[in-house]
Amino acid sequence: MPSLLISLGTTPAIVPEAFHLPDVDFSAVHVITTDGPKIAASVEFVRKWFSQNAPEVMLTITHVAGFGDFSNEEDHFRFEEILFRWMLEHADGQIYVSIAGGYKTMSAAMQKAAAIFGAAEVFHVLCPKNPSTDEEIAAALKQNEIHWVRLGPESGWPQLRVVASTSYPLTTAKLENHTRWVECPNHTLRNHVRSIVERSHRIADSWEILGNFPFQDLATWTTADIDWLMQPLNASTEAAWISSLPKVELHSHLGGFATHGSLLAQVRAAADGTLVLLEEHAFPDSWPLPDKAISLNEYMKLGDANGSALLFDPGCLKKQCELLYQNLLEQNVCYAEIRCSPANYTSTGRSSWQVLSDIKHHFDECMNAHTAGSANFPTSRCHINLIVIATRKDKGDYRAAISRHLALAVTAAEHWTNQEECRVVGVDLAGFEDATTRAHYFREEFSAVHRCGLALTAHAGEIDDAEAIWRAVFDLNARRLGHALHLIDSPELLQSVAARGIGVEMCPYANAQIKGYHLRSKDFTYPLKIYLDRRVCVSINTDNIGISAASLSENFLLAAQLCPDLTRMDLLQLIANAVDMSFLPPAAKNSLKRFISSSIQPGITKP
C-alpha cells in the first residue's frame, strides 16, 4: 500500500495538501520534523486534521531530538543522516516523497534521499493562498487551487537495495503516541552513500577504457591510485603489497615441494613405514639465484630427496599435501592446479588410482578444514584441482607410462565431477624435452584426453626451440604452454598464440636458475614483459617451490627485477590472466575473478 513521506516545518497545511495527491490512496503518512516549541503547533495541527478527516490512515511523527533550527552546515549533515536512516526504514514499501515541507535544505535532503533509496514518485505542492485552517484547505481543494508538481519516480541506487535499516538504526530518545524523538551517533550512512556516489562517478569516467582493466573494481579507484598502478613495480619496497594480493597458481609440482630442510624433515617424520632416505642435495652457491645457470637435469636432481623417494608412503604423501596447502594459504593463493604423477608413487598393493584418490582426499580435507564454498573463493580457503603429469624421457618405454597416466586422468575426470571438491581438470606433457620428444610424437596417446574433454598443458620451449612450441600448439592442441621461453624467437607463432588465447605458464626463479636470465646481457631478455605487451595470456608460477626455494610472491618480485619496466598494473594483469587460462569452467572463472577483483586494495593511501 502507498505511503507518504514528508518533511514538516511551520506550515502544517502542506501535509494534508500532499496527502491529496491525485490518483493515490495513501494508507500511511510518515512525517519527519525538527524539535522544539516552534514545531509543536504544526504537529498538533497535522495530528488533529488526520484524526478528523482521515482517521483510518496511519500517521507517524518523527522528531530529530534536540534539534530546533538550522544554523550551520553541520546541522544540515546531522539532519540528513537521520533523514537517510528514517527513509531507509520505509524503503521496503511503495513510497511517495513530498519535497514541499520545511526548510529548503530539508526539501533538498528529501529529494536527495528519494534519489538514493528510490521512490514510486517525488512531487512538490503549490497553493498560492497558503491555507492555514481545515476550512481553507477544503476550500482550496474544492476550487482546484492546490497544484501538485509530479517529478516522476526514482529508481534508487542499486548498491543500496541490499542495505538493511538494521545496519543503520535510529536511537529512540522518547516515544509517545506514534510520535518519537530520534538521534544517531555518527554519519556512517551518509559516508557510505557518498562513497557509492564517488565510486559510481569513477566507473562512469572510466567507462570507455573499462575493458583495459584486468579487474573491474579498478574502475572505482581514484585517478591517483590508477596512476600509481601504471608506474613500474618497486621490488625492493613492495613485497608486502604483493604478498597481500590474492593469487592463482597454475604450474606447481607436488613432488617438487619440501625437498630440503625442515619441511623435508616433517614429511619424512610422517612416514607410516620404513624409508630408505636419499641424500638431500646441496643447493649450488648463491641459490636461489646461482652464480651460473645449471642444466635441467641438475635442477631436477635437487628434488631427489622428495618425489617418488617419499611419496609412495601414505603418511609422507598426506603430510606433503598438508604442508603444500599451508604454503598456498600463506601466499594468499585462492586457486591452484597442482601437478602430480600418481603412477610414480605406487607400491606393492597400492595402485596409481589409490595414490591419486589419496591426493584428492588430502586436499579435500585441507579445504574442508577452512571456509566452505569454493564458488565464492573465500580468503581463508584455497581451492585445489589436480593436473596429472605424463612424463616423457630420453630412453626406455616411457610411452607406456604416459599412456598409463593419461588413462588414469580420463577415468578420474569422469569419476570425480563435483566442482566443489578437488578433482582432475587436466594433464601435462612434461619431462625431457628435445627434438626427439616433441609433442607431435604423442598425438595418438593424447587423443582420448581431447575426446573426453580434458584440458592439456605441455612443457614446450623451455629447453627446446620454437618448433617445440609450434608442435604443442598445432599438433597436440595444448591450451597452455609450460615456460615457452623460446616463443619470442618466432614472432608469427607468438602472434598466433596470443590470438588463440593460449596460456603461457612462466616460472621466473626456475627460468633464471636453468637459463641464467639474471646473469646475461641486456640482449638476453626475459620475455615476460614482451609477451604481456603482445597480449599473450601469460601468468607467474613457482614450478617447484622446494627446488627453486622461492614462493609465489618471490617469483612475482623476481619478475619485476628481470623486467624493470613491469608495472603494478602488469602484475594485476598476470593474476587476471591466470584466472582466464585456468582449467576452471566459465562460471567458476567469473566467480573467482569477481572475488579477486573485490579483494585488491591500492598500495597507497587514498586521497
Q: pLDDT tens-digit profile of 546-594?
A: 999 999 999 999 999 999 999 999 999 999 999 999 999 999 999 999 9
Q: In 118-260, which residue ranges form alpha helices assigned H by DSSP?
A: 134-142, 188-205, 223-229, 239-244
What's the mean pLDDT in 256-279?
Answer: 95
Q: Give the model's pLDDT for residue 69.
A: 79
Q: What is the pLDDT of residue 56?
A: 96
Model confidence at 605: pLDDT above 60: no
Which element (helix H / strand E) includes 457?
strand 455-460
Q: Rounded to the nearest 5°, which phi and psi values hold at 426?
A: -175, 180
Q: What is the mean pLDDT of the chain?
A: 91
Q: Are 324 and 337 in contact (CB under 8 A)?
A: no
pLDDT at position 83 is 95
What local confidence, expressed as pLDDT, does residue 255 receive? 97
21 membership: H or E segment, kind and range: none
Higher pLDDT, 207 or 115: 115
Domain covering 2-192, topology: Rossmann fold (3.40.50)
At residue 151, the pLDDT reads: 96
The single-letter code of the amino acid at 187 is H
For residue 557, give the nearest of 287, 241, 235, 247 by alpha carbon.
Answer: 235
Domain residue extents for the chain: 2-192, 229-258+337-599
| CA pair distance 417, 422, nearest whole angstrom | 9
pLDDT at 603: 63
d(CA 465, CA 571): 27
The reply to whether domains 2-192 and 229-258+337-599 share a CATH topology is no
Query: Which residue is it, cell 544554523?
Result: 71
- Confidence label for 96 from pLDDT (cuts 50, 70 and 90): very high
> Tell me: the pLDDT tens digits for 43-54?
999 999 999 999
Q: In this predicted structure, what is the pLDDT of residue 99?
A: 95
Asked if 99 contacts 111 with a C-beta cutoff of 8 angstroms, the reply is: yes
CA separation for the pair 506, 191 (Å, rounded): 43
Report the pLDDT value the prediction gives residue 397, as an integer from 0 to 100.
67
Top-confidence residue, 552 or 128: 552
CATH of domain 229-258+337-599: 3.20.20.140
> How confident is the model at residue 399, as a pLDDT?
78
Question: What average pLDDT does range 113-122 have in this prediction?
Answer: 94
pTM: 0.79
Look up cell 589436480; give the residue: 386
Give the containing element (helix H, strand E) for 245: none
> 153-167, 202-216, 265-279, 524-538: which range is least confident on average?
202-216
Q: Which residue has the cell 569513477?
A: 202
CA distances 521 to 89, 432, 489, 507, 526, Å, are: 68, 27, 17, 20, 11
What's the pLDDT score for residue 436? Answer: 85
Check pLDDT > 80 for residue 395. no
In this prediction, residue 380 carries a pLDDT of 65
Q: What span, in angstroms and rounded, lies between the C-alpha atoms of 517 and 539?
A: 18
Find where cell 597458481 sits: 249
Within 168-300, strands assigned E span 171-176, 179-183, 247-253
Tell me whether strands 383-392 and 424-431 are parallel, antiparallel or unpaired: parallel
Query: How many percent of the chain have pLDDT more than 90?
Result: 74
Tell the residue number behind the cell numbers 551517533, with chain if given: 185
19, 312, 342, 510 from 252: Cα distances, Å: 69, 19, 15, 11
> Which DSSP letter does residue 287 get?
T
The answer to whether 310 and 267 are in contact (CB under 8 A) is: yes
Q: Please report which confidence band the pLDDT of residue 523 belongs to, taking 50, 70 and 90 as the band edges.
A: low
**Section 96-113 average pLDDT:** 92
For residues 269-285, average pLDDT: 93
Of 113-127, 245-259, 511-525, minimum mean pLDDT range: 511-525
* Gap between the Cα atoms of 418 and 289, Å rounded: 41
Please compute the mean of the pLDDT values over residues 136-158 and round it to a whole number: 93
User: Picking from 32-36, 374-378, 419-423, which range would have the lowest pLDDT averaged per residue?
Assistant: 374-378
Instruction: Read off the DSSP letter of residue 347.
Output: B
Q: How far apart are CA 542 and CA 589, in angstroms?
A: 21
SS3 of 137-164? HHHHHHCCCCEEEEEEEECCCHHHCCCC
Question: Beta strand 147-154 with 119-126: parallel, antiparallel or unpaired?
Answer: antiparallel
Give CA–CA dist 480/457, Å, rounded: 4
**Range with the poorest average pLDDT among 134-148, 166-180, 198-212:** 198-212
Pairing of strands 171-176, 179-183: antiparallel
Residues facing residue 426 across a β-bridge:
387, 455
Binning pLDDT at 50, 70 and 90, where does residue 28 land?
very high
What was the pLDDT predicted at 208?
A: 72
